[in-house]
Structure 1
Amino acid sequence: MKEHSISPEISAQALAARVQELGEQISKDYADKAPLRIIGTLKGSFIFLADLIRAIRIPVKVDFMEVSSYGNTMASSGNIKIVKDLSHDISGENVIIAEDIIDTGLTLNNVMSMLYTRNPASLEIVSLLVKSQKMKLDFPVKYTGFDIEDHFVVGYGLDYQGYLRNLPYIGSISPDFPAASYVRKE
């Protein structure tokens, strides 16, 4: 029987430090533009977003969108489906989209284009992880946590088949990883 493991990529301590830095930078950049609305993309960004907004020192409102393009595979299908739209109007607001990971950016291109039609005062992107060598995003990423290699990662909100979001770190897995039966030892 093959031994399956998660290869650690980014430690919990490194994640906490970088998220704190991102929160401080956003606080500085938007100090005279508050309040700020941050839109978390569900489901993967929820842990990152929770930690990020605690690191932001200016007034901030939160909303969520759920957009799907992966299904149960490790590759984006390129087709997006809006599962949950925003609860509030963003017209005239300074908005930052909080992403867990930007892979190709094709899904985010569609989301950004749609949100621009809602007339925000500004619209920026913060992403915990970016695969820049693979990215085809038409919009700049103003705030990046970590630039990573092109492999499938889990933990800190990122999942595989709905599992492994609860890992306190970011790790990579192989395509045959048995996510449903993995028991964390640490």
Structure 2
Amino acid sequence: MIQLHDKIFKPFISSGELDETVSNMVQEVTKDLAGEIPVFVAILNGSFMFASDFLKKYPSNCEISFLKLASYEGTSSTLKVKQLVGLNTSLKNRTVVVLEDIVDTGNTIVEIADLLANEGAKDIKIASLFYKPEVYSKDLTIDYIGMSIPNKFIVGYGLDYDELGRNLPEVYQFYKQTDK
């Protein structure tokens, strides 16, 4: 168990399970994009560990860019997405693979797909390490899913609770509120 601010989190996914999941996702993307030089777009801040591990394992030529959006405050989605830092790479007529840490409601990923389409990407694929099918309600296809998980708040491996926990090498799930 760990405590972050006023909440207790319990172990949920080990670093070994994460490594295996990322490896499997890389194999699938590599197979699908054989012969292409994709642009990976990592969504900050949450996907930084996932994107780093993914790219270290990716065996072919590729480019990476970063996009920072926000839709969370504390443990709740605000249902509004705001772009904080934009792309710095031309996507015109390129295959783009979005590297996202987690897809739950789908609001952020739909906003991202629209933004990338407006930048002229010829094909947009979504790769999400975590996916919450219970709350996803959009029509956009998530092309690569690392793990489907229940609709519980998680931290670690890039994901945070009010900026704490991103540095944890494994993932923890919300357990209970502290008495404080």
Q: Give TM-score, length-normalised by structure 2.
A: 0.91
Q: How far did residue 137 of structure 1 move?
A: 2.6
Contact 2:10–2:173 under 8 Å retained in 1 = yes
Q: 1-side partners of 2:19 and 2:138: how far apart?
A: 26
The answer to whether the aligner puts 1:12 opposite 2:52 as a matched pair is no
Greater relative contact order structure (CA < 8 Å, 6+ sep) = 2
Q: State how 1:1-186 maps to structure 2 within 5 Å.
A: 5-33=8-36, 35-71=37-73, 73-174=74-175, 176=177
Distance 2:102 2:123 in 1: 21
Between the aligned partners of 1:162 and 1:89, the Cα distance in structure 2 is 30
The structure richer in strand per residue is 2
Distance 1:78 1:174 in 2: 24
Residue 31 (structure 1) shift: 1.1
For normalisation by structure 1, the TM-score amounts to 0.88
Asked if 2 retains the 8 angstrom alpha-carbon contact of 1:106 and 1:136, the reply is no
Q: Which runs of 5+ in 2 are unaligned?
A: none
SS of the equivalent of 1:79 reads strand
Query: CA–CA distance in 2 between the matches of 1:80 and 1:175?
Result: 27
Structure 1 residue 133 displacement after superposition: 1.1
Structure 1 gaps, min length 5: 179-186
Residues 95-123 of structure 1 show CA distances to partners (whole Å, capped at 9, x for unaligned) of 00110000101121112112112221210
Question: Identity of counterpart residues, as a percentage?
Answer: 28
Q: How many residues align?
A: 174
Tell whether the 8 Å contact from 2:130 to 2:145 is kept in structure 1 after alignment.
Answer: yes
Paired residue type of 2:106: G
Q: Indicate the SS of the match to 2:34.
A: coil
Paired amino acid for 1:42? L
Identify which range, 156-165 or 74-83, moves more after superposition: 74-83
Preserved CA contact (<8 Å) 1:74 1:175 = no
Report how far residue 8 of structure 1 moved.
1.4
- 1:42 & 1:90 partners in 2: Cα distance? 18
Letter in 2 for 1:21: N
CA–CA distance in structure 2, aligned partners of residues 177 and 96 of structure 1: 39
Q: Which amino acid aligns with 2:156?
A: G
Residues 177, 148 of structure 1: alpha-carbon distance in 2 compared, 3 angstrom cutoff: farther
Q: Which amino acid aligns with 1:125?
A: I
Give the drift of 1:176: 3.1
SS at match of 2:100: strand
Let me know the Cα RMSD of the aligned residues: 1.6
1:73-96 Cα offsets, whole Å, 9 max, x none, are 211111111100101110111100
